[in-house]
Structure 1
Amino acid sequence: MIEILETGPFNTVQDLGRPGYRDIGVSASGAMDPLAVRIGNSLVGNDENAAVIEVQTFPFSLRFERRAVFAVTGADGHPHLDGSELIPWCAYMAEPGQVLELKQPPRLARAYISVGGGLDIPVVMGSRSTSLRGGFGGNAGRPLAKGDRIAVGEDAEIAMLSATGLAVVEPAVALRDVFPAPVDDTLPIRALPAGEHDLFAGAGEAFWGQTWRISSRSDRTGYRLSGEPITPTASIEMRSHGVVPGVIQVPPGGEPIVQMSDANTAGGYPKVAGVIECDLWRLGQARIGARLKFIRSTHAEARAVEQAVARYVEDVRLTSGMVKRALKAMA
């Protein structure tokens, strides 16, 4: 078991989501930074879809009630175990009674805590993710609260970890050749033109050409963007249609909304663009007030990025497995 000692609003249990139920109005939910979840679970020897804790309000702390392997991935802060500073993107061993503390990260938005064996949370519609809007899944369908105790699954690989931990190069560094760096504190996000793109003046130039800011009215459902409003060249009447994370809709006020992990299942606003799937984790780590610029991409580029990320994830999985097998053989 682990016990939550300190937390804030909207910290939840998440995995990679529950696809397949949008036709009955159920959002997929899942982690805002799925890449951090996949890497964290690989580090501790879990299936990549094991349930983790998503922390987006800090400080956060928990106590381990039994020996456990854990990793903190995602945000760029340094976790502390019983007051000793650790490095992120690294698997460590915790002893019974030790306290893990996460402080406010300097730049990024969300941290993920993976525990060997995964969080032993009931599966609802194929997922352990919390649906805050639906009030189900995860920890009784609600955010974590002080005093919550969460069961942890059995960890068959708990003995296969060096005392100094097992670390990986974080995605932003390992994949810097495929993920463009911020320019003047503005995060470039690649997107493809969407269904109603051509209804906006100048082929949507006002959308692609300006810098947007993430509004304080943003959450896991969608990021509302502040900037110079954009509007279609003519008034249009649309029926509601299916939407998914990454779709960028433009309501009548002209300030776009990017659908995120708890995306609506349907909507009737015109769609100007869609964020490529492999850039969604970067968007999930952008904080309120962050500046964004959308870069027009291609299907070929999106596929190339997807392949690079897949190679990185597989390399982490294989390397982690090799190291643990070597340590087991030496034991």
Structure 2
Amino acid sequence: MEISEAGASVSEPVARGRHAPEEAVPSRYALQIGEIDVLVVSDGVLPLPTAMLGHNAEPADRAAWLKDMFLPPDAFDWPLNAVLVRSGEQTILIDAGLGLDPDLHLPRAGQLALRLEAAGIDLASVTDVVLTHMHMDHIGGLLVDGVKSRLRPDLRIHVAAAEVAFWQTPDFSQTAMPPGFPDALRSAAKRFTNAYSKELRPFDETHTVAPGVVVHRTGGHTPGHSFVRLTSGKDRLTFAGDAVFPVGFEQPDWHNGFEHDPEEAARVRVRLLEELAGTGEWLVATHLPFPSIGRVAREGEVFRWVPAFWDY
């Protein structure tokens, strides 16, 4: 079944399995980038105050944007997306979702392991994990009880060396998070590095994980924040992690509450959006509405998100 406009097709190897009976809406979406199989998987949603979308913006401007988008004024459900990639003999998980943090009471997130299982994906088949950064909604799924024992003993976890170094003594001075989140982030990062120190494969700036799968450090959101570019034939897709949020197309200079260097994060965002608007390649990001597959168009000095038409 072909997506004629996208030049992509549903990938049978990663699309098999059935939706869990309790699911009212789809939680995974398969496509193909050349010879690379891609599966976008929803980890659920993370409810956060709307001020987190742009804490440097005037409240009236932020409220106007939310109203124009038909979104509630006080709390916004941030989507959480991860990606499973098959390239050659490797199966690569890009980010691992939130997992479970009972102190934060987030029951609608942390669904990744269950949804991979529903898709027929055995955790033991994952050869590599790429982390865009080490915020808990990207590493927490690896900390769920019983997950590590189901992973391969030779698993490789690729993450920027600058990210690992940052979380040894993290600086939250420029963030604007709700209470409890800095402590939860710090705790999750410490637990992760303790649990997976032997599996870590730190890289400096650019690293090839598999044929056509290259990770690039961007910085900004966190010092080691990275995006992953998939390239096969004429097809390209960039998984941007937290480099862009729903408001970031129209308001790329608004600062997200989780950004550890907001000014640099805005520069990274603009550079990425300018590049994608020029190339027309696919974009997927952690916090764009599932399945978060689309393209970027230029609108004067700002940008426009153009979501893909779903292929049924």
Higher strand share: 2
Higher helix share: 2
TM-score, normalisation: structure 1: 0.24
- Tell which structure's C-alpha radius of gyration is larger: 1
